A and B are shown apart, each in its own frame.
Chain A
Amino acid sequence: MLARTADNIYWVSRYLERADFLARLIEASNRISALPTAYAAKQDEWTSVLIASGADETFPEHFDVANEGNVIAYLAFDPRNASSIRNCIEFARTNARAVRTALTVEMWEHINSAWIKLKSFEGRNGEPTAIDREALIGFLDFVKETSSLYDGFAYRTMLRNDVYYFSRLGVSIERADNTARVLDVKYQLLLPEHEPLGGSVDFFQWSAILRSVSALTAYHWVYRESIKPWNVADLLILRPEMPRSLISCYGEVVRWLDAIGNQYGRHGDPQRQARAIKRKLEGASIKEIFQSGLHEFVDGFITDNNGLAGAIAEHYLLG
């Protein structure tokens, strides 16, 4: 396939996965900020949301302080924010349109319809200060549905060849990055000095972390006990059955890269790098991770993941 086609397909997936993550992140933070002030976190919630979404660098160019209204508007609708949800959907659609022929009709029509529908939300939520909460919930549902349906159409309608593999690869790489970013921003909350006390502030923070990667219910199924910070870290990093955990994402990354390598009859740098990252995760235990520093571990992972994304681009996408 054309290198540019692979690049576009891969980025459609990345943008839609990012949009989905941002929607969950906003939802989770909304719950936190709706808590009575006695439960308020030490860390400013809206600043941490900006950091987790990677928008903290550009945000101060447009606003003096971060508050619920302007952060949500910036993350959800602001065209000036390169990674706002509206831009993610817009870019996904632009990439999709550039490679229409590589998508199935269902995938294309779905993403094009979503892009048309996006405009109806923009009209209502264009103002950066006044967010209509009900409209926002509707919007976030729409975003999650957009990403899920795209995934679903891909799964149900695409030929199983390199086009499909690159599409899935984009989802896994982006998803790993998103989970790692949440961990990176919230890691202090997971450190051992925060002993769990029923109904503590931290309980709500931990459950918010789980919600932002839609793992709250999964947590209970896996651990069958109240929320403990080391379990939260374990679930998001090392649990293979948790679809957004780093190890699970890397199971997928290796799988799709191997599929690509097998189809082309050649394995190279990307496959080697991906396997090395996966091995590192498989060899780790949560105890060691906490001992050697959660922050350092997650930081190292983000760097590795970006390095692999660079190798994939170099090897396949730039032609």
Chain B
Amino acid sequence: MSQFFDEMTNGATEPRPLYDRIAEWLRVSPPALLDSRREQAEILFRKIGITFAVYGDKEAAERLIPFDIIPRLLGRDEWTRLEAGLIQRVKALNMFLTDIYGRQDILRAGIVPSDLIFRNECYRPEMQGHSAPHDIWTHIAGIDIVRIDEEDFYVLEDNCRTPSGVSYMLEDREMMMRLLPGLFSQHAVLPVDNYPDNLLASLRSVAPPHCPGDPCIIILTPGQFNSAYYEHSFLADKLGVELVEGRDLTVRDDVVYMRTTEGLKRVDVIYRRVDDDFLDPLVFRPDSALGVAGLMGAYLAGNVTLANAPGAGVADDKAVYTYMPDIIRFYLGEEAKLKNVRTWRCREPDSLKYVLEHLSELVVKEVNGSGGYGMLVGPHASKEQIETFRQKLLSDPDGFIAQPTLSLSTCPTSFPGGVAPRHVDLRPFVLSSADGARIVPGGLTRVALKEGSLVVNSSQGGGTKDTWVLATNAK
């Protein structure tokens, strides 16, 4: 028997009732059927061009993220609990950011140490003393969720800057409806395809007050060589807005314009998929060619809304993460509905000592890292890798946190010639707008395709699954 919580069987011989039909389908489907569906999916994904770039991998400039055709299921009761926790968490994150760049009550109260904020690379002093329109900083948040048992959801990581993956959530659903329409219709799956409408409504709600009627909304992309370019173009298409690059924009008298075939057109809301550092060469990195000179001036003058707001990254830092239960309690007076994974802050001497003594059991992450780069998975690491990390930790303890190697839940996953359980996580997307939060029931399920692997990041060989939130309860 497995030591992991398997979402289909939970270690029993009979499936959990939620998975009855999936188990039956897997039992009666010949392996060749699964193989052919998987191959069909790959051909379709290539044709649509759903690819991503892997930095540092020149050969595979455009690679497919492997797609697994066995869906991952959640019951309505499970989703309701998760949704409430997500809304609570993102509300607190936005309040935290308003406070940090405003009155800084939480620092004065000694709940979060000041140096954690001010020495943070993602803290933007340029934003200090400024508010974000409607006090929303992270309009689109991706919260990474894991399960280790049937009861609880744990937050692994908050992504408040430019979380990606929502296009996979939507395309995976299209693929499932196309490839396995029978299986799909046997389940009452709650729809996700209103996400683009919700996103558009959220972006409209935060348009600057000067805007008379229809705000001009655009998506700002670093361009087609960015790893998430497909998603940028996908969203622009679904929203019906222009997909622009920095060179398409110009700022005059603190107003942002885009260059069109009819001359300059005023821009009101920018859903930017360009990192803070590259947004405006006058304020941030002077060598950036991806942004627009003067953009921050226009933003601070209130003439354009940036989503997500510059500086939002200070809230998704892995060191700030460890304070989330306190942050939620401080602003909302509530206990966190979603649990945090036990985390050692290497900046604290006792924790550092413990971490150094248990490197081979722990997962060590860079506080500012993302995408699974620069992390140590102790149980899978070689002696040299552990030694390298020991040195890194000793020279910069503030830069790291450590977590136990989680027993991530597994879901049945299809391979050439068979089906086996693989570890999964879940990234739901939370939209914050002037009139409240919106979440579509579902998210991106990422799956670690390598046997035993716990790293689900697409840049590290992870794949995706469609996530079905059913109208029926798990229990």
Contact = CB atoms under 8 A, between A and B. Distances in A.
Contacts of B261: 1-3, 6, 162, 166, 260, 264, 316-317, 319
B177 to A, nearest CB: 16
Nearest to B237: A101
Interface centre among A166, A264, A319 (most CB of B within 10 A): A319
Contacts of B259: 2-4, 319
Interface string B132-174: 0000000000000000000000000000000000000000000
B252 to A, nearest CB: 14
Interface stretch (A106-114, A136-144, A236-244): A106-114
A100 interface: yes
A3 B236 contact: no
Interface string B208-249: 000000000000000110000100010011000011110110
A271 interface: no
B247 to A, nearest CB: 7
B46 interface: yes
B260 A319 contact: yes
B47 A97 contact: no
Interface size class for chain A?
Answer: 20 to 34
Given A3-B259, A316-B261, A100 B245 contact: no
A3 B47 contact: no
A205 interface: no
B59 interface: no
Nearest to A166: B261
Contact of A101 (B48, B236, B248): B236
B245 A108 contact: no
Nearest to A319: B259
B260 A2 contact: yes
Given A1-B260, A2-B258, A98 B236 contact: no
A65 to B, nearest CB: 36
Interface string A257-286: 000100010100000000000000000000
B313 to A, nearest CB: 27
B262 interface: yes
B47 A109 contact: yes
A116 interface: yes
Contacts of A97: 49, 224, 229, 233
Contacts of A100: 49, 233, 237, 243
A5 interface: yes
A122 B247 CA distance: 34
Contacts of A162: 261
Contacts of B242: 1-2, 5, 101
A149 B61 CA distance: 27
Contacts of A109: 47-49
B224 A3 contact: no
A166 B233 CA distance: 20
Interface string A68-97: 000000000000000000000000001001
A266 B260 CA distance: 14
A319 B248 contact: yes
A143 to B, nearest CB: 19
Given A2-B248, A4-B247, A116-B46, A101 B260 contact: no
Interface string A215-234: 00000000000000000000
Contacts of B248: 2-4, 319
Max chain B C-beta neighbours (<10 A), residue from A4, A6, A260: A4
B47 A113 contact: yes
Contacts of A3: 248, 259-261
Nearest to A6: B261
Contacts of B260: 1-3, 319
A319 B259 CA distance: 5
Contact of A98 (B47, B224, B237, B258): B224
Tell which of B236, B245, B258, B262 has the most Cβ of chain A within 10 Å. B262
A98 B260 CA distance: 16
Contacts of A6: 261
B317 to A, nearest CB: 33
A94 B223 CA distance: 11
Contacts of B223: 98
A94 B224 CA distance: 9
Contacts of A264: 261-262
A162 B229 CA distance: 24
Contacts of A266: 262
Contacts of A5: 242
Contacts of B49: 97, 100, 108-109, 112
B260 to A, nearest CB: 6
A108 to B, nearest CB: 7
Given A98-B224, A101-B233, A319-B259, A112 B47 contact: yes
Contacts of B237: 100-101
A267 to B, nearest CB: 13
Contacts of A112: 46-49
A2 B267 CA distance: 12
Contacts of A319: 248, 259-261
B246 to A, nearest CB: 11
B223 to A, nearest CB: 8
Interface string A4-31: 1110000000000000000000000000
B426 to A, nearest CB: 28
Taking each of A2, A3, A113, A266, which has the highest tally of chain B beta carbons within 10 Å of its own beta carbon? A2
Nearest to B243: A101
A11 B244 CA distance: 18
Which of B49, B245, B248, B259 gathers most chain A CB within 10 Å?
B49
Interface string B45-64: 01111000000000000000
Most-contacted residue by chain A among B242, B244, B260 (CB, 10 A): B260
Most chain B CB atoms below 10 A, which of A109, A260, A266: A109
Interface in B250-277: 258-262
Contacts of A108: 49
B47 A2 contact: no
B261 to A, nearest CB: 5
Contacts of B262: 264, 266
Nearest to A4: B248
Contacts of B48: 109, 112
A104 to B, nearest CB: 10
10 contacts: A1-B260, A2-B259, A2-B261, A4-B244, A4-B259, A101-B237, A108-B49, A112-B46, A116-B47, A319-B259
Given A112-B49, A266-B262, 9 more contacts: A4-B244, A4-B247, A94-B224, A97-B224, A100-B233, A109-B47, A116-B46, A319-B259, A319-B261
- A-B CB proximity, top 9 nearest: A319-B259, A100-B233, A101-B237, A101-B236, A316-B261, A3-B259, A112-B49, A6-B261, A264-B262
